[in-house]
Amino acid sequence: MNVTPLALHSPGAVQNALRSHGWEDGLARASAGGIHPLAFHLTGLDQGALEALVRFGGGIGLEVVTGGDWAILAGSRSRMSAFARPWTAPEQLLDVALQVGLAMPSDPGPAWHTARGPVPLDRPTLVGILNVTPDSFSDGGRFTDPDTALAHADALLRDGATIIDVGGESTRPGRSELVPTEEELLRVRPVVEALARAHPDLVISVDTVKAAVATAALEAGAAVVNDVTGLRADPEMAGVVAGAGAGVILMHSRGGLLEIASYQHADYGGDVVAGVLTELRETLAAATAAGIAPDAIVLDPGFGFSKTVEQSVTLFGQLSVLQALGRPLLVGPSRKRFLGEITGRAVGDRDRATAAACALAWERGARLFRVHAVGAAREALAIAQALDTFPHA
Active-site residue, from 307, 336, 364, 367: 336
Q: In angstroms, rounded to a whole number, what is the distance separating the alpha carbons of residues 209 and 214?
A: 8
- Tell me the pairing of strands 111-114 and 117-120: antiparallel
Q: In angstroms, rounded to a whole number, what is the distance separating the alpha carbons of residues 123 and 202?
A: 17
- Tell me the pairing of strands 247-251 and 224-227: parallel
Computed on alpha carbons and rounded to an integer, the radius of gyration of the chain in Å comes to: 22
Cα dist from 341 to 139, 301, 353, 362, whole Å: 19, 19, 11, 22
Please answer whether residues 86 and 100 qualify as being in contact, where contact means their C-beta atoms are separated by less than 8 angstroms: no
Q: Where are the beta strands (DSSP E) in the chain?
A: 37-42, 63-66, 71-76, 111-114, 117-120, 125-131, 163-167, 203-207, 224-227, 247-251, 297-300, 330-331, 368-371
Which residues, other chains included, contact 42 with Cβ-Cβ below 8 Å and sequence gap of 6+? 53, 70, 71, 72, 73, 96, 99, 100
Determine whether 307 is an active site residue.
Answer: no
Q: In angstroms, rounded to a whole number, what is the distance separating the alpha carbons of residues 260 and 267?
A: 13
Q: In angstroms, rounded to a whole number, what is the distance separating the alpha carbons of residues 64 and 74?
A: 7
Q: In angstroms, rounded to a whole number, what is the distance separating the alpha carbons of residues 168 and 131?
A: 6
Q: CB 278: neighbour CB atoms within 10 A?
A: 12
Active-site residue, from 79, 116, 327, 370: 370
Instruction: Please report, in angstroms and rounded to a whole number, the separation of the first and last CA atoms in the chain.
Output: 19
Determine whether 370 is an active site residue.
Answer: yes
Helices (H), 159-263: 181-198, 211-220, 237-244
- Residues marked as catalytic: 336, 370
